[in-house]
Structure 1
């Protein structure tokens, strides 16, 4: 939406596929929280708990919950949102002008002669595109992005400043990547000539292990990264290339800032991986999995379809489809809640136990 023209209430309602009442020709320039809204803003009050802010601000129109008395709230117009956050998605899409990447290819960009650039691409300054790389039509690439040799990026990509895309990485259509992400770095894969202490302990689950000195030998990454359509990558995400085959990210999956995907990992479709999630090498993540912030997934395990894991959950073993997990280590949500209740009762239980021991001791002395 341009600052000069804005959008009318009628246009907004039509775009959101929802009802509106009042002055449908009233134009708004921005979205705003109710208390901070000015006369040219659309106040966002999709729940009655936000209504009080409308009397503090100066909005003439608002996005409201169904059935709201917009006249009683002192408004000239209202758009109704049966599902508030879904309406926010549509509204924010309308009002997002996007990054200021000028059309065409900037003069300070370096593109290998063998690279292919799709029609309508906009490429900013100090971008480097390697030999044989392919950039799809209508791609927008910000400053200081590097695209490695043989990489392929689909149509309508938005790749923001400072992103690094490695050699032979394959990315589908409508890709969005926030600043500083690295896609296709080498996997963290090393081995020792003899069994290392880590291997010994994992096999025996005992602390005893050989103390012999050994050095680490690098296993090189020969694979790349394959990413489906409609994937979004947050700022400073790191996705390691596979050792032999590609690391894979399924279509529709969204990765938040600072997520790390290890080598050979397979992430399914429409997953949501929140900030600071770490997935160790060769783990397999099913479809529609949601991992909240700081979740960790062990290497070489499987997390089934539709698994939901709460914040800071650590998944060490296979997780069946549909499970809701919490805790360290991960257990069913109901089990975790019971464990936490029992943990909070421990001090009181210990005190009562000590009292019982004193009583028993005294009674034993009397007999």
Structure 2
């Protein structure tokens, strides 16, 4: 693949100057860029790296003096990360899948495959499944019975879409993602130790035997449009109603969404987030890495939770949270400052105790 500077600028909706017919075959960091690569130097702090590399064209910050940098051409990015989104989309070749259905794929005769869809080696499409137009399903992926998948979907290697799951258009699942496994839901015929702890807030009661009985998951999973799920992430099916993921939500690697959860639109869930069963997440919620959300609580619209925050109770809309347990970010920062001051405070108290003891001895 090769692209002219004009083609890239047009795709990005960005201004460009210099030799607009100059062609590049890819993108690179400034210090590592070859002569046929577009250097990404969208901040002045990366300018010195251009001299170390061999780039003749670059994606630069607005107003940069590209001629002084010895370049043949430049594209200007008012919003660097937005430009990165467009550039990477343009240059990403994606996985090689297809065309059509690979001879080793197993497709049930009752399945309906949309026009332009491509199904890779050893993929399995179950009975009565419906795959939308231009879907791409990579090697060893499984789409189970009665699944509905929209148009322009990409299922990467080893993805598992379990029975009766409903997925909208432009869905992307990275390798190993699993959607629609049974929820982790068990009950004991007798009162369990966990129930006792919830009642007593700490006491398990007398020793007892307890045996777990499975509660089967009769619901499924419903996913909107433009949702992405990272590698080895899991979304459990609902017990009675469906677990649901709203349109536009992006889920990172190794994220667990429990049974019955309702996740809103345009949420961002980073790596190792865990959302326990029956939690409700509003729209545009951001959960940073390792955030945990308790079962049966509500996290309001536009909440942002910093890394490793543990949310144990309902979070009002618009709240910025941090810590274990979760608290307002500004409160957590003050509490942390207080912890940092404790050693000094202990030393001061010890000195005061000594002074008081000396006064007492004099009396």
| TM-score scaled by length of structure 2 | 0.99
Match of 1:179 in 2: 175
Partners of 1:180 and 1:18 in 2: CA distance: 37
Match of 1:97 in 2: 93
Stretches of 4+ aligned residues off by more than 4 angstroms: none
Partners of 2:202 and 2:308 in 1: CA distance: 26
Tell whether the 8 Å contact from 2:235 to 2:258 is kept in structure 1 after alignment: yes
Partners of 2:138 and 2:269 in 1: CA distance: 24
Q: Deviations over 1:318-363 (max 9, x none)?
A: 0000011000110000001001100000011011111111111221
Q: Deviations over 1:243-263 (max 9, x none)?
A: 001000000000000000000
Partners of 1:33 and 1:209 in 2: CA distance: 62
Question: Which among 284, 290, 298 is matched to residue 288 of structure 1?
Answer: 284
> Could you say what the CA RMSD is over the residues aligned between the two structures, in angstroms?
0.7
Given the superposition, is the C-alpha separation of residues 208 and 176 from structure 1 closer, same or farther in structure 2, using an over 3 Å criterion?
closer
The correspondence of residues 96-175 of structure 1 with structure 2, limited to 5 A, is 96-175=92-171
What secondary structure, in the 3-state scheme, does the structure 2 residue paired with 1:258 have? Answer: coil
What secondary structure, in the 3-state scheme, does the structure 2 residue paired with 1:104 have? Answer: coil
- Of 122-131 and 196-205, the range deviating more from structure 2: 196-205
Match of 1:274 in 2: 270
Q: CA deviation at 1:74?
A: 1.1
Q: Is 1:51–2:47 an aligned residue pair?
A: yes
Tell whether the 8 Å contact from 2:29 to 2:40 is kept in structure 1 after alignment: yes
> What residue ranges of structure 1 are gaps of 5+ in the alignment?
none
Q: Deviations over 1:179-229 (max 9, x none)?
A: 001100000001111221111112221234232111111100100000000
What secondary structure, in the 3-state scheme, does the structure 1 residue paired with 2:180 have? Answer: strand
> What residue ranges of structure 2 are gaps of 5+ in the alignment?
none
Partners of 1:248 and 1:194 in 2: CA distance: 32
The correspondence of residues 236-275 of structure 1 with structure 2, limited to 5 A, is 236-275=232-271
Question: Which among 205, 224, 227 is matched to residue 209 of structure 1?
Answer: 205
Question: Which among 5, 11, 30 is matched to residue 9 of structure 1?
Answer: 5
Question: Which among 313, 319, 338 is matched to residue 317 of structure 1?
Answer: 313
**Residues matched between the structures, number:** 363
What secondary structure, in the 3-state scheme, does the structure 1 residue paired with 2:350 have? Answer: helix
Question: Which among 24, 31, 54 is matched to residue 35 of structure 1?
Answer: 31
Partners of 2:12 and 2:124 in 1: CA distance: 39
Question: Which among 350, 355, 358 is matched to residue 354 of structure 1?
Answer: 350
Partners of 2:63 and 2:200 in 1: CA distance: 64
What secondary structure, in the 3-state scheme, does the structure 2 residue paired with 1:229 have? Answer: coil
Match of 1:19 in 2: 15
What secondary structure, in the 3-state scheme, does the structure 2 residue paired with 1:51 have? Answer: helix
Q: CA deviation at 1:11?
A: 1.1
Partners of 1:245 and 1:193 in 2: CA distance: 24
Partners of 2:26 and 2:111 in 1: CA distance: 40
What secondary structure, in the 3-state scheme, does the structure 1 residue paired with 2:338 have? Answer: helix
Match of 1:191 in 2: 187
Partners of 1:129 and 1:253 in 2: CA distance: 25
Match of 2:227 in 1: 231
Match of 2:301 in 1: 305
Partners of 2:249 and 2:227 in 1: CA distance: 5
- Of 233-242 and 356-365, the range deviating more from structure 2: 356-365
| TM-score scaled by length of structure 1 | 0.98
The correspondence of residues 64-103 of structure 1 with structure 2, limited to 5 A, is 64-103=60-99
Partners of 1:60 and 1:202 in 2: CA distance: 66
